[in-house]
Amino acid sequence: MKIAIVSYKKLEKFTQGVTNDEDADLITFLKSKGLDVVPAIWNDEMVDWNSFNVAVIKSPWDYHNHLTEFLEWLNKLEKLNIKVLNPVEIIKWNSHKEYLSDIAKNGLPVIPTEYLHKGSAFEDRFFDLFGTDKLVIKPCVSAGAQNTITVNKNTLKEHKAEIENLLMAEDYIVQPFAEEIKNGEWSFLFFNGKYSHCTLKTPKEGDFRVQHYHGGSISYPTPNPVHIEQAETFIQSLSQPTLYARVDGVVINNSFKLMELELIEPYLFLNGDNKLLENYYQALITLIS
C-alpha cells in the first residue's frame, strides 16, 4: 500500500518560526513502522496520483488561495478510488466557515457568528446584535489569519471602505471579539476521534493573532479534563471518522467555546515526540486497514 503525505509548495511565511519539520518527522516515523509513504505536493503536475492507494491531506497550506483547483483535485482522487484522509466530504464541508453554523445548529458552543456574502455591505448593527464594542471580521475561506481584521465602534469609519473592498472579493464572517484570546487559544488534537494532546497559543503583546509567524508563542500546559471532554463533543458530531482533527477555541467563564474546527491542514504540534507520532500512526493504521 502506497501512501502520499500531501503538502504544498513551501512558502516561508507559513514556516517562519517553526523549528521542527513536522512532515519530515512524520514520514520518517511512518517509514520506521514499515509503511510505504511518499511526500507529494497536491498541485504538482509531475505526481502520478494513480500510483497511490491512500492520500493523507497533511499540509496543503495554500489551499485557501486556490480553493476551486484544490476541490477539483480532491474529486480527481475520488475518481481514482484513492482513499483520502481526511474524507473528501469532510474537507469540502470544512473549507468554508459556514460549517460553524451547522455546528451551532447542533447545539454546540460556538463563538456567535454572522455571515456576509460576497458583494454585500457591512453594517454597524453587528455591535448591537452581539452586545459588544469590538468585532473580528475574517474570510469564510482562509488560513493563518489572512485578511482578518478587528474593528470597534470608534474605528468603524476608517475601516469601512477596507471592509467593503474585501467583501467585493469573497464571503466573510463577523464575530464578537473574544477578549479571552489574550489568555491564549487552546488547540485540542484528536486522532481517529481519540484525544492525543493539546497546546496553548498566545498572541504577542498588543496583537490578537496567535500564529507563530505573527509573533505568537506556544506552550503546553495541562488542560482541564472538562475542557477536553467539551472539545471532544465537536469530534463526535462529525458525519465521518477523521484521521486528525484540531479543535481550536477559547475558555470563557470556564467553558470551552469553539473558534475553528481544523480538518484540512492544521499543524499538529507533534514536535518529534514518538508518543504523539504513535498516536497518529495507530489512527492511520485503523482507518486504512
Task: For each of the domains in the chain, give its residue range(s) and CATH number, in order of start.
Answer: 2-94 (3.40.50.20), 99-109+180-268 (3.30.470.20), 114-177 (3.30.1490)
For position 149, what pLDDT does the model report? 86
Percentage of residues of the chain with pLDDT beyond 70 = 91
Report the C-alpha gap between 104 and 123 in whole angstroms.
23
Mean pLDDT score, 39-51: 96
Q: Are 81 and 53 in contact (CB under 8 A)?
A: no
Q: Which has more pLDDT, 264 or 179?
A: 264
The rounded percent of the chain whose pLDDT value lies above 90 is 75
Selected residue with higher pLDDT from 264 and 205 = 264
More confident residue, 189 or 163: 189
Least confident span in 27-31, 146-150, 177-181, 227-231 = 146-150
> Can you give the chain as a three-state secondary structure string?
CEEEEEECCCCHHHHCCCCCCHHHHHHHHHHHCCCEEEEEECCCCCCCHHHCCEEEECCCCCHHHCHHHHHHHHHHHHHCCCEEECCHHHHHHHCCCCHHHHHHHCCCCECCCEEECCCCCCCCHHHHHHCCCEEEEEECCCCCCCCCEEEECCCHHHHHHHHHHHHCCCCEEEEECCHHHHHCEEEEEEECCEEEEEEEEECCCCCCCCCHHHCCEEECCCCCHHHHHHHHHHHHCCCCCCCEEEEEEEEECCEEEEEEEECCCCCCCCCCCHHHHHHHHHHHHHHHC
